[in-house]
Amino acid sequence: MTLLMAALSAGLAIAGVFLLVIGLLPRRATEPGAPAPPSRGPLARLSTGWRGLAPGRRRLLAVALIAGAGVAAVTAWLPALVIVPLAILVGPVLLSDPPNRDIEVLEALDRWVRSLVASLLTGKSVPDAIRSTRRQAPPCIAPAVELAAARLTERWPLPEAMAALADDIDHADADAVAAALIVAGQRGTAASATLEALADAVQDRLAAARDIENERAKPRIVVRQVTIITGVALGLALITSPAYFAPYRAGLGPLIATVLALVYVGALVRLQAASRPPPRARVRPTGTSARDRPLETGGDAVTPFGLARGQP
């Protein structure tokens, strides 16, 4: 009876890990107005989720499950069926440094604005400078800059094209750059000085963001080192000193070990979420694009940040 319960628990654990990984994967967005797919049984959804995985994810998932089963067979410790796959699938993601889009966008804006300044110093207008520097934009913002250059070529007004550029980049500092470009284009003179001052401000903001990221990385480095050392020590103890895990082999011991591992994973998830910078509020520049242009403005003046008198 004990062996039967152990086998049943092992099967449920493997299926639970597989379903957890499938559930965490992003799903394909459906077209607006498209009918919802018909509901299917758990096995059908499991099969569909497996086929929808990329080949690399399938191999990683298979290796994780096989490794968990192998460690459980060698050590005769059932919690390894859950803990080992979790360590392989989730551990590298939770212990790695999360991407910081703030720094990426600030670096890209700094480089592109400085190339705009160099182009404006040759006597070009703001739209011409945007068109001539579109291929110098870093990859992070290159698609948005290409679209902005195409809109200006299609004779979009500069405010509308810059508002659309800010929406495409979707970042608070991109709003400031778009507003500065609108002001520089309207003045016609001293545009390079305006953008050069903006580039200096972006560089200061980038230096501050890097300092903040370095401070946020310190706890992650400590947790990474502690986790790796602890995992290696427990793995060696599991193989060389089975008696150390004797309390976790019978009764509620395996369940307690699994719960403790899941609690630790939850703590890593919380740490990863806390180390991500919160999104800053955007201030959308004026010049609404054609796709969302209001029918009437009511005669109110609009500032470069889209705050019109009389608007709610």
pLDDT (average), residues 156-177: 89
Q: Are 126 and 191 in contact (CB under 8 A)?
A: yes
Query: Measuring CA to CA, which residue among 100, 103, 105, 99 is closest to residue 166?
Result: 105
- Identify the pLDDT of residue 144: 92
Residue 76 CA: distances (Å) to CA of 67, 71, 258: 13, 8, 15
What is the chain's alpha carbon radius of gyration, rounded to the nearest angstrom? 27
pLDDT (average), residues 223-230: 88
* 164-173, 183-192, 201-210, 212-221, range with the lowest pLDDT: 183-192
Residue 193 CA: distances (Å) to CA of 107, 123, 198, 210, 236: 20, 13, 9, 26, 63
Q: How many CA atoms lie within 13 A of 142 on its CB side?
A: 6
Take residue 236 and report the two structure tokens written for it. Answer: 């060696």
- Identify the pLDDT of residue 260: 87
At residue 77's C-alpha, the angle toward residues 14 and 47, to 5°, is 5
| 145 — pLDDT class (breaks 50, 70, 90) | very high
pTM: 0.63
How far is it, in rounded angstroms, from Cα 278 to Cα 104? Answer: 15
Query: Measuring CA to CA, which residue among 26, 305, 284, 291 is closest to residue 170?
Result: 284
Average predicted confidence (pLDDT) for the chain: 75
Beta carbons within 10 angstroms of residue 218's beta carbon:
10
Q: Are 194 and 171 in contact (CB under 8 A)?
A: no
pLDDT (average), residues 255-259: 87
pLDDT (average), residues 158-163: 90
* Greater pLDDT, 54 or 115: 115
Domains and CATH numbers, the chain: 101-209 (1.20.81)
Q: Is the confidence at residue 75, as pLDDT, over 60?
A: yes
* 22-36, 43-57, 158-172, 298-312, range with the lowest pLDDT: 298-312
Q: Is the confidence at residue 211, as pLDDT, over 50?
A: yes
Q: Is the confidence at residue 127, as pLDDT, over 80?
A: yes
- Identify the pLDDT of residue 304: 41
Side chain identity at residue 166, one-letter code: A
Q: Is the confidence at residue 209, as pLDDT, over 80?
A: yes
| 50 — pLDDT class (breaks 50, 70, 90) | low
How far is it, in rounded angstroms, from Cα 178 to Cα 159? Answer: 8
| 308 — pLDDT class (breaks 50, 70, 90) | very low
The shares of helix, strand and coil residues in the chain, as percent rounded to the nearest 5, are 70, 0, 30
* Greater pLDDT, 196 or 280: 196
Q: Is the confidence at residue 90, as pLDDT, over 60?
A: yes
